Amino acid sequence: MIRVDDDGPVWTITLDRADKANALTPDMLRELADLAEAAGDARAVILTGVGRVFSAGADLDAAKAGLATSPDWERLSGALAALPGLTIAALNGTVAGGAMGMVLACDLRLAPPHAKFFYPVMKLGYLPQPSDPARLAALIGPARAKLMLLAGQKITAEVAYAYGLVDEIMEGDQIIARAMELTQDSVAADQRIAHKIKGLCTGI
């Protein structure tokens, strides 16, 4: 249910559970976190999925059984944020719930026009992952972060682009090619320079 192409300087990690809206099981979440922790030598990492939904977050049954509060969500987003190479969320569609964490932790986000973004943890009786509100507020501002987290608003790709949550919007069949194109300069550069520039941009 997780596919990884790590044969080269760019790792592509794909969520492949389209029949369940790429909702994550405990094993899938653990595998994603392990992959993110193992990707330190990759020059770039691309996250994507199959189908019209990037991920609905936690599998509903697993969430009720404790997955919604698993520390592996924060382990995943923390590992992605710590990667020295360029990270791109090449979204194939909607992002919901806990899946927002890994998307927020990436350096860039590409999305198709039909994508929507929402994070209804409060309505479901959970707190967001610890680092997510700050990352969300850094991208779209505190008030808009509250609009999503406290007012429970679902936003479209166009609104997400206007807010700064999404960097580019394009048709889904173009997104992976565009993501690969965006990695080219970082992949070809002296990695010490590329990593230093990323650190300067993120305050590390």
CA atoms within 13 A on the CB side of 10: 19
Torsion, CA 90, CA 181, CA 79, CA 200, rounded to 10? -120
Q: State the CB neighbour count (10 A cutoff) for residue 204.
A: 11
Q: State the CB neighbour count (10 A cutoff) for residue 133.
A: 19
Looking at the chain, the whole-number percentage of residues with pLDDT higher than 90 is 92
**In 3D, which of 70, 71, 120 has the Cα closest to residue 97?**
120
Confidence class of residue 177 from pLDDT cuts 50, 70 and 90?
A: very high
* pLDDT tens-digit readout, 16-65: 999 999 999 999 999 999 999 999 999 999 999 999 999 999 998 888 88
pTM: 0.96
Helix (H, G, I), strand (E, B) or coil at 116: strand
Give the span between the Cα atoms of 155 and 133, in whole angstroms: 16
For the cut 70, the answer to whether the pLDDT of residue 204 exceeds it is: no
